[in-house]
């Protein structure tokens, strides 16, 4: 197992502690430390109790059916996710409460109360139905961060269709792969999106992506308007507004879904070139999402909650849409970049709407650090009471900066470790109970049994590192990989029988706190985005000049990790700066801008083991300057040979 050794060095030196402020503890939803033990003694009873916070059409007969690696939760129960996220709040005192406060990048904004959101969701559900969408159909969604995105997801949930959101930063090829894998016949997109004042050509990408797929219907939200210059294809494309205007104003009856019916697919990168469609079901997922809003995020009716993620990733699914809305919260949703028009945009939003809970990524915090505290100090952030981070390990300096400059040393920080596959936060402090240590996600949340184990699967002693594992099923766990149960078994349950392997390394300290060390597989975490090395390698070798490519993640001050590609070119091709630029652009076009390599190093040969495995650890050492200084080419094969002698198979 190879993990980030720099991180291990820093975290072993970290000994600061932060107890929950007394005032926070006193008002917290979860403030009895006994909850951990009670949940551990009977996790099923704990989860059943939490499930009682949702509205069920039919109660479940059995909490858990566990046939490893397959779990069924709340067996026999029936509910609807959109009903829980919207309709039930329309009937009580939250009817006119703000559900979504949306801020567009150019400065436009909209507020949807629960009642207004409900009406839009109902209309969108009527619209999907009129387009022939039925329960169980997959709807691919490729939208910017505009209100129509959560509305579409909730409309799918309302009729029982399965949504598959593809992040708007993905290129046409990536979108096509996901459409094909999910076998969708309908795509919801926008004419274009705004990013730093420029247009993201979503419809253009969508036109390219649907060729050769079974998509016969595209609904286009006119976000940008004329400037986007898009054409609707007669018979295939529809204008969102025109369709919505034709729908009846009558309520749409929520489809009673079985707890185990699929709510959504979300594709994520793995160790092969093909992304996995992670399958989440309705009951367990919603119980997990809802519970963590109350426990980890201490959500209250008065809160104004702002999560800076994009709904194209799991964080946005759980912590912009299903978690906060099922808890009846007010959610702030922002469309654009943190530095548009200036570097204080997030703080401007916090002040403008009186945000109380702010959830972001370590890479953003490191960017704010680089920009300097003056942008934060321009604004009154006194409404903030709780901060959170997600997506990658946070380095203690970034944690402290967040604590001092944003939280003014008053706000607990919840560092939440979880994955697309886990559905909701698994390792995180309960802010009214758990003492925090900068850089540690602390301990598993109640009802989750996490451990750190050695190669044989034995628990390590405190003070040691190993594989992070989850030993018991939990409600919001993935159920399978769409269309590939074998891959589900092998990837997550193949190493240790009946035990979930997330693919992260971890260190357990003397207080049994967990420190995540990073991925142990071929997944790179660039600014919190998971990118498979194989995906980038496949894109590179698809270029006519490239013979072979090996891609690694090297540590990067702001992004956490950056992509370095080692490339051998074909006979007669000149490896020059122009080709570097061309290959970087080629990857961005094939996958999306977040996969653009930071650097490309040409080499006459790739270092391989005798069993022909690329020696990634060697390449990482080279990229991080431990072996060759700042060499940018490995042209001399004898250098590679010499290097190989430093490493064993
Ligand atoms: C929610 C999300 C999952 C991977 C995960 C791990 C890394 C996420 C983290 C963290 C350390 C945290 N990760 N949160 N590492 N501390 N608080 O990010 O899902 O995109 O599937 O990524 O991200 O490596 O395995 P996803």
pLDDT of residue 212: 95
d(CA 409, CA 252): 47
Q: What is the mean pLDDT of residues 568-595?
A: 94
pLDDT tens digits for 20-51? 999 999 999 999 999 999 999 999 999 999 99
pLDDT of residue 274: 83
**Residue 546 annotated as lining a ligand binding site:** yes
**Residue 247 annotated as lining a ligand binding site:** no
pLDDT of residue 272: 72
**Cα 117 to middle of ligand 1, angstroms:** 30
Residues having CB within 6 Å of any atom of ligand 1: 268, 313-315, 390-393, 415-420, 441, 502-504, 516, 519, 525, 528, 530
Kindly tell me if the per-residue pLDDT of 133 is higher than 80.
yes
Q: Which atom of ligand 1 is nearest to the CA of 519?
A: 24
**Residue 610 annotated as lining a ligand binding site:** no
**Cα 463 to middle of ligand 1, angstroms:** 22
pLDDT of residue 9: 75
Asked whether the beta carbons of 647 and 618 are under 8 A apart, the reply is yes
**Cα 455 to middle of ligand 1, angstroms:** 22
Percent of the chain with pLDDT over 90: 86
d(CA 578, CA 90): 58
**Cα 519 to middle of ligand 1, angstroms:** 9
CATH 3.30.300.30 in the chain: give the residue spans. 522-648
**Cα 251 to middle of ligand 1, angstroms:** 38
Q: What is the mean pLDDT of residues 222-232?
A: 96
pLDDT tens digits for 587-642? 999 999 999 999 999 988 888 766 667 778 788 888 887 765 545 556 565 666 66
> Which of 279, 417, 522 gets mutated to test ligand 1 (max ligand atoms within 8 A of its CB)?
417
Of all protein residues, the one whose alpha carbon is nearest to atom 8 of ligand 1 is: 391
Which of 78-92, 352-366, 611-625 is predicted least confidently? 611-625
Kindly tell me if the per-residue pLDDT of 145 is higher than 70.
yes
Q: Which two tokens stand for residue 616?
A: 């990634």
Mean pLDDT of the chain, nearest integer: 94
CATH 3.40.50.12780 in the chain: give the residue spans. 5-505
**Residue 479 annotated as lining a ligand binding site:** no
Of all protein residues, the one whose alpha carbon is nearest to atom 22 of ligand 1 is: 419
pLDDT of residue 65: 98
Give burial (CB, 10 Å; 0-12/13-18/19+) of 471. Answer: middle
592: left (phi over 0), alpha (psi -120 to 50) or beta: left
Work out the end-to-end distance of the chain between its first and last CA atoms, rounded to an integer number of angstroms. 13
Which of 42-56, 311-325, 532-546, 602-616 is predicted least confidently? 602-616
Q: Which fold has domain 5-505?
A: Rossmann fold (3.40.50)
553: left (phi over 0), alpha (psi -120 to 50) or beta: beta
The CATH class, in words, for 522-648 is alpha beta
Q: Is the peptide bond before 34 cis (omega within 30 degrees of 0)?
A: no
Q: What is the mean pLDDT of residues 318-322?
A: 98
**No. of helices (H) and no. of strands (E), the chain:** 23, 30
**Residue 541 annotated as lining a ligand binding site:** yes
**Cα 525 to middle of ligand 1, angstroms:** 8
Of all protein residues, the one whose alpha carbon is nearest to atom 4 of ligand 1 is: 419
**Cα 5 to middle of ligand 1, angstroms:** 18
Confidence of residue 648 (pLDDT cuts 50, 70, 90): very low
Asked whether the beta carbons of 202 and 168 are under 8 A apart, the reply is yes
pLDDT of residue 528: 87
Q: Which atom of ligand 1 is nearest to the CA of 516?
A: 11
Confidence of residue 5 (pLDDT cuts 50, 70, 90): low
pLDDT of residue 614: 76
**Residue 419 annotated as lining a ligand binding site:** yes
- Considering only CA atoms, give the Rg of the chain: 24
**Residue 17 annotated as lining a ligand binding site:** no
> Which of 275, 308, 419, 503 gets mutated to test ligand 1 (max ligand atoms within 8 A of its CB)?
419
**Cα 420 to middle of ligand 1, angstroms:** 8
Of all protein residues, the one whose alpha carbon is nearest to atom 5 of ligand 1 is: 419
> Which of 528, 531, 532 gets mutated to test ligand 1 (max ligand atoms within 8 A of its CB)?
528
Asked whether the beta carbons of 20 and 433 are under 8 A apart, the reply is yes
Of all protein residues, the one whose alpha carbon is nearest to atom 6 of ligand 1 is: 392
**Cα 610 to middle of ligand 1, angstroms:** 33
Q: Are strands 109-113 and 98-103 parallel, antiparallel or unpaired?
A: antiparallel
d(CA 310, CA 316): 5
> Which of 8, 11, 525 gets mutated to test ligand 1 (max ligand atoms within 8 A of its CB)?
525
pLDDT of residue 649: 42
Of all protein residues, the one whose alpha carbon is nearest to atom 16 of ligand 1 is: 393
Residue 22, CB half-sphere, CA atoms under 13 Å: how many? 0
d(CA 75, CA 286): 14
505: left (phi over 0), alpha (psi -120 to 50) or beta: beta
Of all protein residues, the one whose alpha carbon is nearest to atom 12 of ligand 1 is: 417
Of all protein residues, the one whose alpha carbon is nearest to atom 11 of ligand 1 is: 393
pLDDT tens digits for 252-295? 999 999 999 999 999 998 777 788 999 999 999 999 999 999 99
Q: Which atom of ligand 1 is nearest to the CA of 420?
A: 21
**Cα 528 to middle of ligand 1, angstroms:** 7
Q: Are strands 464-470 and 262-268 parallel, antiparallel or unpaired?
A: unpaired
Q: Is 255 helix (H, G, I), strand (E, B) or coil?
A: coil
d(CA 587, CA 596): 6
pLDDT of residue 270: 77
């Amino acid at each position: 197992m190879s993990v980030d050794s720099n991180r291990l060095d820093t975290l072993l030196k970290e000994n600061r502690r932060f107890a929950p402020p007394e005032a926070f503890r006193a008002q917290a939803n979860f403030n009895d430390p006994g909850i951990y033990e009670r949940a551990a003694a009977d996790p099923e009873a704990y989860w059943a109790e939490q499930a009682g916070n949702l509205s069920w059409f039919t109660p479940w007969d059995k909490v858990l059916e566990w046939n490893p690696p397959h779990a069924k939760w709340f067996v026999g129960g029936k509910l609807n996710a959109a009903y829980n996220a919207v309709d039930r709040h329309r009937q009580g005192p939250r009817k006119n409460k703000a559900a979504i406060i949306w801020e567009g990048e150019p400065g436009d904004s909209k507020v949807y109360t629960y009642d207004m959101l409900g009406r839009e969701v109902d209309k969108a559900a009527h619209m999907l139905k009129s387009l022939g969408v039925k329960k169980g159909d997959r709807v691919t969604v490729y939208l910017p961060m505009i209100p129509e995105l959560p509305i579409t997801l909730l409309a799918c949930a309302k009729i029982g269709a399965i949504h598959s959101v593809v992040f708007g930063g993905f290129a046409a090829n990536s979108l096509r792969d996901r459409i094909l894998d999910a076998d969708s016949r309908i795509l919801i997109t926008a004419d274009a999106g705004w990013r730093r004042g420029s247009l993201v050509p979503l419809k253009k990408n969508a036109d390219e992506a649907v060729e050769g797929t079974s998509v016969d219907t595209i609904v286009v939200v006119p976000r940008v308007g004329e400037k986007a210059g898009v054409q609707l294809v007669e018979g295939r494309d529809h204008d969102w507004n025109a369709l919505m205007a034709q729908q009846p104003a009558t309520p749409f009856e929520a489809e009673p879904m079985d707890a185990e019916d699929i709510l959504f697919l979300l594709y994520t990168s793995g160790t092969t070139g093909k992304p996995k469609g992670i399958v989440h079901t309705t009951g367990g997922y919603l119980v997990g999402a809802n519970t963590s809003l109350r426990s980890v995020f201490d959500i209250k009716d008065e809160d104004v909650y702002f999560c800076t993620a994009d709904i194209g990733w799991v964080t946005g699914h759980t912590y912009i849409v299903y978690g906060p809305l099922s808890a009846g919260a007010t959610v702030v949703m922002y469309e654009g970049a943190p530095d548009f028009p200036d570097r204080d945009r997030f703080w401007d939003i916090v002040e403008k709407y009186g945000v109380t809970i702010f959830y972001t990524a370590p890479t953003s915090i490191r960017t704010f650090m680089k920009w300097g505290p003056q942008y934060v100090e321009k604004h009154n952030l006194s409404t903030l009471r709780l901060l959170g981070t997600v997506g990658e390990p946070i380095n203690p300096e970034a944690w402290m900066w967040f604590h001092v400059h944003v939280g003014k040393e008053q706000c607990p920080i919840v560092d939440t470790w979880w994955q697309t596959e886990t559905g909701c936060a698994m390792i995180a402090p309960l802010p009214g109970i758990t003492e925090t240590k900068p850089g540690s996600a602390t301990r598993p949340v109640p009802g989750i049994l996490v451990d750190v184990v050695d190669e044989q699967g034995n628990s390590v002693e405190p003070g040691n590192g190993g594989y992070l594992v989850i030993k018991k099923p939990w409600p919001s766990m993935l159920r399978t990989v769409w269309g590939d149960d074998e891959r589900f078994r092998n990837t997550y349950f193949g190493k240790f029988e009946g035990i979930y392997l997330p693919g992260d390394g971890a260190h357990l300290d003397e207080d049994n706190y967990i420190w995540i060390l990073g991925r142990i597989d071929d997944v790179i975490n660039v600014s919190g985005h998971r990118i498979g090395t194989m995906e980038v390698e496949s894109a590179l070798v698809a270029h006519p000049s490239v013979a072979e490519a090996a891609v690694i993640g090297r540590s990067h001050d702001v992004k956490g990790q950056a992509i370095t590609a080692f490339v051998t070119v074909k006979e007669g091709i000149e490896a020059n700066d122009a080709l570097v630029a061309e290959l970087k652009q080629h990857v961005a076009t094939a996958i999306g801008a977040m996969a653009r390599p930071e650097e490309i190093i040409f080499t006459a040969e790739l270092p391989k083991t005798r069993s022909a495995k690329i020696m990634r650890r060697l390449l990482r050492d080279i990229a991080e300057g431990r072996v060759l200084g700042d060499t940018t080419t490995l042209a001399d094969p004898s250098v590679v040979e010499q290097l190989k002698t430093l490493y064993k198979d």
